[in-house]
Structure formats: C-alpha cells, structure tokens
Structure 1
Amino acid sequence: MAAADIYGTCAPGFEGVREEFARGFAERGDIGAAVSATVDGETVVDLWGGSADAEGVRPWQRDTLVTVYSTTKGLTALCAHVLADRGALDLDAPVAAYWPEFAQEGKADIPVRWLLSHRAGLIATREPLTVEEVHDWDRACAAIAATRPWWEPGTAAGYHGMTFGFLVGEVVRRITGQSLGTFLRTEIAEPLGADLFIGTPESEHARCADMVGHPDLSRLADTVPGAPQPPVPSMDVHPLAPAILALGHLPFGEVNTAAFRSAEIPATNAFATARGLATVYGAVANGTLVGEGTLESMRTRQASPGEPDLVMGDAGAWTLGFKLNEGGAGPNPRAFGHAGAGGSYAFADPENRVSYAYTMNKYVNGGSDDDRRSDSLVRALYAALGQRS
C-alpha cells in the first residue's frame, strides 16, 4: 500500500501514535482512517488521513464521518445508562413495563438488563424482514416484539448482532418519546460537541466515507445450511451460523447508500468521527456523563469467565452493553468499550482517565488476529502514557 499524508495533531510525547498510524497505510492496508485519544478530557491525539472512497478521489477530512458497525452498540447502551443514571430507567424492571407489546410469546418477565447483556434469546425474528422493513422503525420493533425467544431467556448469552439496537432503542423511545438517534444527539453528542449520529441527516451525507470491501451480509444466510430459519443455538452449531442467519433476517442493506445512512439501526449504523467517539468515551472515563455507580454498572460482568456465547463463542467479557478489555484496550483489564466489524473500536479507561477511538473505511474480514491496525495504535498510546508517568 502507498503511504498517505497524515493530518492533525499529537501532543508532545505521542509521536509514536502518529508513526503507527502512518504505518497503517503503508503496511496494514488502510485506505482512509482516523484515530483520536483523550487524557483527563484533553485531546492528545487527533489524526486522519487517506481517502474517503476506494478511488482515492475524496480526501479524508477532519470531519469525515464513517459507519462504525457494532461500535454503534456502545453508544446505544450508553443512552440506556444515561437514563438509568437519571432514575428514568430501572435495568431490573421488565422490558414490558416500558414496552407492553414486548410481553408477547412468553417475554413478560425479561428484564431490561438481559437486552443489554445479550441474554434475551432474541437474535433474530422468526420470519425474514426486508431491508425496507428494517429501515421502518415501527415495523421492525413490532416484528421483534412478536418473536418467540430462540432459547430460554436468561439462561445463556448469545450476541444480538442486529436486534440489540431495536430492543434497547425502543425502550429508550418509550421512556423519552424520542428516537434513539435523537436522544443520542440531543442528550449526549451535542452537549459534548461530539460529531456522531445514529440516523445521519441528509445534510451530512456528503462528508460520509464509503466503506470499502464489506460483504453484503444480507446474502450470507444462503451460505449456511438450514437457511432461512435460524437454528436454536447450541454448541453443536457452528458458532457464527446463528449470527450470520440473524443478519440475514435483519438485512441492513447496502451501507454506502443514502437509505442506510439516514436509517436508525442502533446496533450497526452510527456514523462518527474518531474524535466524536473519543469525546463521548472521554466523558465516560472522566465521570462527567454518568455517576460512579452507573459507571460501575456499565462495566460489571454479566457472564462467568469461560461461559459460552451461543453465537460468538465466549461470553465471559460481556457487561451491560459493552465488553471488558480482552487485550486490545491497553493494560487495564477494567477498560471497556465496543468494537465494530471490519476494524473500528472505541473504549474508556476510567482508572487512567483515557479514551480512544479508531475509525476506518477499509473493512478487514476475520477476527482481531487478522487485523492489527487498532492494536498497534493502542500500544503506542499507552507507551506514551507510560513515559509521561
């Protein structure tokens, strides 16, 4: 890969992050990307470079937005925790107390915390939805409310790849009267000056980067025996099969279209700058967005170490909407955040008062072992912090 011009700033001592960021283009396949980090609420890294499209026509700018896939889930979970912090949401209350229609098919007693911890057994609808139905909030939520759980709720975790956002988002909407994206914007992003959206206004589409290399997940269900009906998850099923089928039942459409950018799909379609994500997680790390009790709740394990996730493998690190650090967020095991398919990542490290975010438009398939772009940046960040202490 060709080297890219790198723009932005690094505080003195953080030059190693810039070096690794440049290496991401020269050696690790980045096309366009950004990285940002804060310490004690001050931005110490804010870099961007490369191209916002595959052709290299549009340079990545300071304000380029890009979809961050499941990194979105951390923002969605944060909305719920802000409401809990304000006393407007009880995480132990039944979902049906806020969303009465959810009680269908034996779901009357499922507590809100099981939505956040992927323990509700609702990885997919029973009947496939079209892209248009997924983009229609009321229709998608009605279909999920009418769904019988795929396993006994509360007995196991299973990653709710697409349904997570509708489940948590509808609870937020029933409490506030605002869509998840509106609540995120008015109650979190705008007060913090954070540049990010779930449901990106058309006026902002011109600054959205194109994702490069992401497969059409709506077609993947055809590759798994037994489609279109997802199997009841068990460890006899390939760990990724239910996730693939769940995505097949809730297809979000072509990600570079105006329809995808404008829709609210709060599990997977936030558009953000790295700076915006780092700003939000910085407010979490510094205790300015939620109180200490809520912060502890946000990062409390909901599964035993080694407990299987019926979709993704190991559920041990799941908290209430986030994952505890499994090695990609520096040395603090209590740092927490959320990664996104293809490579994006954002986290908070309250003990060190650090936040971090990486966004990119070159989708890398596979697991973290196949993609070392963010890991290299985080190592450089904490090396710099170690030299300052």
Structure 2
Amino acid sequence: MDIQGYCAPGFEALYDAFAANFRDHGDVGASFCAVQEGEVVASLWAGTTDRAGAQAFEEDTLCNVFSSSKGILALIALQQVAAGNLDLDLPVAEYWPAFAEAGKSTVTGRQLLSHRSGVIAFTEKVSDDLIYDWDRALQQVAATTPWWEPGSQQGYSPFLYGWTVGGLIEAASGRTVRDLYRSGVGDPLELDGGFGAVGHRSTRIADVGPLKKPLPELRDNAIGRSIKEDRQGPVATAFTNPVSLMMGTNGDAWRGALIPAANGHFSARDLAAVYGDLASESPQLLSSATLTEATQEQTRGQDAILQTDVAFGCGFLKSGIAQDLAFGGSRGFGHPGAGGSVGFADPEIEVGFGYVTSRMGQSLFMDQRAVGLKDCLYRLI
C-alpha cells in the first residue's frame, strides 16, 4: 500500500500503524490526522474511493462519518449558547413552540444535547423519504412523543438528535444549520467538508461499504441482540424507523440532504482541526469557559439505547477507561461514528485526532483501526 502524507520528526511510526490498517484490518480508503498544540504532527491517506478502485483517496477526500457528525452539531449549538442566543436550561419550546406537543413542553436543550430527553425515535411509522426533507422531519419530531419521562433516564438518540438539536438552534438563531456551520466552523478553519456531501470546499467523496472481513470486537455489542429480541422496542425503532436511515448512504438523496446526526462528510484533517482547536488553551471556535462547562459530565450510566455504560457532556462522549472510548486523558471528549470514524480532543496535551474510513466495521465505538493509531500516537507524544 502506498501511504501518502506527512509525519513530523519523531512520529514516523504512525506510517506503519496506518499501513497496518490496510494490511491487517481491511481498510481500502482512509485518512488520519493528528494535531498537537496547533501543529499537524501527522496527516496520512491511502487507498481508493470507489468500488472499482480507480479513484485515489486524497487528503481532502470526504467520508460519511455518521455519528461523528453529532460532535460538530453540538459545537454549533454551543456557539449559540456563547453568543447569548440559546439558554440550554430553558424549555426547547421557548424557542420552538411546536416542540411542546406530545408531552415535550418541559424538555430542555441540555437534555437534548446530553441524551436525556426521551426523544430517541419516532413513535409512529414514518415514510422512507421523510429523512430527506428537513422541514417535514422537523414537523414530525415536534409531534413525536418521548419514549419515557424526559430527564428520567439516559438514552442515546441515533438520528432524531440531529433534527431536535438542529431545529432548536435554527429557532434560537433565526439561521439555518448549514449557514451556522459555514460561518462558525467550516470557513474559520477552512474545512474540506460539512453536513451532506455537496457544496463544500472538497468535491472528492468516498463510497462507503462494509469491511469484507469483520474486525474482532473490542466489547460486547448488545445493540444487535436488542433489535432482534424486540423489533418494536426503542432500540430497534431508533435505528430502523424509517429503514432508509440504514440504507442508501452512497445515493444522491442522502448526500444532498441535511441529516446532521448522521450524514456529515468530513476528512480526517477536518476532524483533527476542529478537535485540535477545542483542545487548545485558547480555542478559536468557542470560549474556554463555555467549552469547560459543556464538556463537564452531564450524565453517566447504562444507556437505554447503546446498552452499555457511557458518559456524556453536552453533545460529546466523555473519555472512558475502555480502549474504544479512551480519548486520551480523563478530560478527553469527542464522538465516534458508525463504521469506525472518530474525532476527539485531549485538552491535557492539546491533541486533536481525526480518522475517517470508507470501509465500515461493526464496533459500537472506536474499532481496532482508530485504537491502533491512537495508541501509537500516544506512545510517541
């Protein structure tokens, strides 16, 4: 495998760690980037982007990062907090009156961001094309009943998170999610990608597909078992209503839509740039005070949807002790995505980390590919 890119002196071992993902773990097209104290210590890419293997993967190739998108959306929400447009402890309905329907009048922005709202899935069967229509999706979310009493337990929202948080920040700011992203995040850092796959600085897009050979799991993934055991329960419904949430991710409809919990398309250097900034002593994107408050633990416990013990700040997963959730030190935070992508910040040593791939694994959080790169990086720092 011909590895392209750069490693700073002393970080050359990352070439081998990245190459091992292609040699041993099934990567076909991927990129990796790490930033420390504002300087790029590694930016590597290799492989191809299309099923025919004809198009080379480049540094600015965009991959669908799935739930890693949530960290970027959370950042935009926090920017509205810092600007004084949004108070996370007020009911969402103060900004978005329609959201008060169906028992949601007391749900707060903080509960949405920290996955304690109970609004984790549509309670009625919805049409497959709903997810491609932003306004219809917001209307459906506003009419949806929480699956349990808001605030009573922690339950991750795989897809509705994007419409609930996105609808809130649009109502609070009077601006669109895409506009807020461009002006607050994409343009200041000159990022390659954004939500959806079109209209960005980079037009290179990787087709995603499953790994040909599944990687050994780093933990028991109980989600699949829960879906099989109760096809009408909250876990199954959160991931499969509608079924288009799990299909068509290489199609034009998916790539052109705004599905901010799941269809962000970013390069590894995008994720490393965002989290590198947030890990710095003087972030450009968000005030240190707002970031410190937002990354404090808001909730911890056995998650009703993820079926494992996790902790959340406001929109970010908190670093844990398990290797697939260890975002550096104890102050680390970030967000992995289905298939293997991840971005995280480690403020203790001012590291920003980004990895994206076109070949999806089945791990719940980070898999062996990102963990191998992370472990190698930390041995060198």
**Pair in the same fold by TM > 0.5:** yes
Indicate conservation of the 8 Å contact 1:95/1:171, yes or no: yes
Which whole-Å CA distance do the structure 2 matches of 1:95 and 1:202 have between them? 30
Is 1:65 aligned to 2:62, yes or no?
yes
Is 1:381 aligned to 2:377, yes or no?
yes
Q: 1:121 to 1:315 in 2, by over 3 A?
A: farther
Is 1:335 aligned to 2:332, yes or no?
yes
Indicate conservation of the 8 Å contact 2:132/2:257, yes or no: yes
How many equivalent residue pairs? 363
Indicate conservation of the 8 Å contact 2:193/2:200, yes or no: no
Q: Which residue of 2 aligns with 1:243?
A: 235
Q: Which range moved further: 345-354 or 50-59?
A: 50-59
Q: Which residue of 1 aligns with 2:152?
A: 155
Structure 1, residues 246-276: CA drift from partner, whole Å, max 9, x if none? 1211433400011111111011000001011
Q: 1:258 to 1:24 in 2, by over 3 A?
A: same
Q: 1:341 to 1:203 in 2, by over 3 A?
A: closer
Which letter maps to 2:192?
Answer: D
Is 1:183 aligned to 2:180, yes or no?
yes
Which whole-Å CA distance do the structure 1 matches of 2:69 and 2:126 have between them? 21
Is 1:275 aligned to 2:269, yes or no?
yes
TM-score using structure 2 length = 0.90
Indicate conservation of the 8 Å contact 1:200/1:261, yes or no: yes
Pairwise mapping of residues 60-209 of structure 1 onto structure 2 (< 5 A)?
A: 60-201=57-198, 206-209=203-206
Which letter maps to 2:337?
Answer: G
Which letter maps to 2:236?
Answer: I
Q: Which range moved further: 175-184 or 68-77?
A: 175-184
Q: 1:183 aligns to what SS in structure 2?
A: helix
Q: Which residue of 2 aligns with 1:237?
A: none
Gaps of 5+ in 1: 232-241
**Per-residue deviation, 1:205:** 8.2
Q: Which residue of 1 aligns with 2:217?
A: none
TM-score using structure 1 length = 0.88
Structure 1, residues 21-60: CA drift from partner, whole Å, max 9, x if none? 0111011111100000111111111110011123311110
Indicate conservation of the 8 Å contact 1:98/1:171, yes or no: yes
Q: 1:87 aligns to what SS in structure 2?
A: coil
Gaps of 5+ in 2: 213-223
**Per-residue deviation, 1:79:** 0.5
**Per-residue deviation, 1:127:** 1.4
Pairwise mapping of residues 193-342 of structure 1 onto structure 2 (< 5 A)?
A: 193-201=190-198, 206-213=203-210, 224=228, 227=231, 230-231=232-233, 242-250=234-242, 251-252=244-245, 253-286=247-280, 287-304=283-300, 307-326=301-320, 327-328=323-324, 329=326, 331-342=328-339
Structure 1, residues 165-224: CA drift from partner, whole Å, max 9, x if none? 001001111122322222112211111112221033267785110001289xxxx99x74
Task: Kindly report the root-mean-square deviation, in angstroms, between the aligned alpha carbons of the 2 structures.
Answer: 2.2
Indicate conservation of the 8 Å contact 1:94/1:108, yes or no: yes
